[in-house]
Amino acid sequence: MTVTSRAVTTAVLATVVAGAAYLGPLWTTGAAAALVLLVAVGWAPLLRLPADGATTVVVLLAGLGGVGVAWFTQGEPVLRNLPVVIAFSLVLAFVAQMLRRGGRPRLVESVSGTTAGIVAAVAAAGWVAAGRSDAGADLVVTSAVGLAVASAVSALPVAGGWTGSLLAVVLGGAAGAGAASAVPEVEPVQGLVVGLVAGLVAAALRFLFDRQPSLASRRAALAAVAVPVTVTGILVFVVGRVLV
C-alpha cells in the first residue's frame, strides 16, 4: 500500500466504526474485534518480528480479551478488568517465547514487539467502552469522524511533512466539533478536543510508519491502517470520561 491508500483505508475503517456505533453497541463490539484481527494478522510483519505465528496468536487473544471484557463487564468503570487482560497477555507472551525453538534469536526484540502489539490491540476496547458511556454512540461517532477526516487529509498531496500533519490535526478537530454540533450528547468544544486527539494520533502514526520498509508486505499494511483506529479508541474513552 502507498501512503495515500493507507490513509484512505484508515479513514474508511474509522467511518465503519462510526456507522457501527449508530447500529448499536453489539455492532461497535464487532467492529472493534475486526480491528483487533487486522492488527494481529499484520503486527509481526510490520515490526519484522522473528516469532510470527506466536506473536499473531498472543496479540489476537489479548485484543479479543480486551474487547470481551469491555462488552461483558457490568457497572462502572467498564474497563476495570482490562489490566487483568493485559497482565495475562504479558504472561502469555513470555510463555510463547519459551516455546520457541532454534535458540530463540532476537529474543528481546520479539518480547518487546509482542508487548507493543498487545497494547495496540487491547486499545480497541476503548471503542466499546466509549459506546457504553453516557455519551454513547454520539461520542464514538464524533471521534471517529475526526479521525476519518484527519486520515483523509493525510492522503492529500499537500499533506506531507509537518505542515500536512498540522493541517490534519486542525481539520480533525474541526470535523470533531462539526460532528458534535449535530449530536445531542456531545458539546462542540468536547468534539473539538476528541477530534484534535484523533488528528494527533493519525499524524503521529503516519510519521512512525512512513519509513517502515516492511509496509511493502500486505499483512504489515493491514496492521498499519488499523493501529491508528485502535489506539484512538482508548484515548477517546479517556478524554470522554474527563470532558463528557
Instruction: Map 171-203 to HEC letters.
Output: HHHHHHHHHHCCCCCCCHHHHHHHHHHHHHHHH
Question: Which ranges of 132-181 would DSSP assign to H, the alpha helix?
Answer: 137-154, 161-180
| pLDDT at res. 94 | 92
pLDDT of residue 156: 73
Amino acid 160: pLDDT: 60
Residue 25, preceding peptide bond in cis (omega within 30° of 0):
no
pLDDT (0 to 100) of residue 158: 63
| pTM for this prediction | 0.90
Task: Determine the pLDDT at residue 161.
Answer: 67
Cell numbers placing 99? 516455546
- Buried b / exposed e over 92-128, threshold 16 CB at 10 Å, is bbeebbeeeeeeeeeeeebbebbbebbbbbbbbbbbb
Closest CA to 36 of 202, 244, 230, 243: 230
> How high is the pLDDT of residue 102?
74
Can you list the residues of the chain whose pLDDT is less than 50? none
pLDDT for the residue numbered 41: 95
Query: Can you give the pLDDT at residue 58?
Result: 96
List the alpha helices (DSSP H) in the chain: 3-23, 25-47, 52-72, 82-98, 107-122, 125-131, 137-154, 161-180, 188-209, 218-243
Sign of the four-CA dihedral 68, 223, 193, 115: positive
Is the Cβ–Cβ distance between 14 and 147 less than 8 Å? yes
Give the model's pLDDT for residue 95: 92
How far apart, in Å, are the Cα atoms of 172 and each of 166, 196, 203, 204, 231?
10, 6, 10, 13, 16
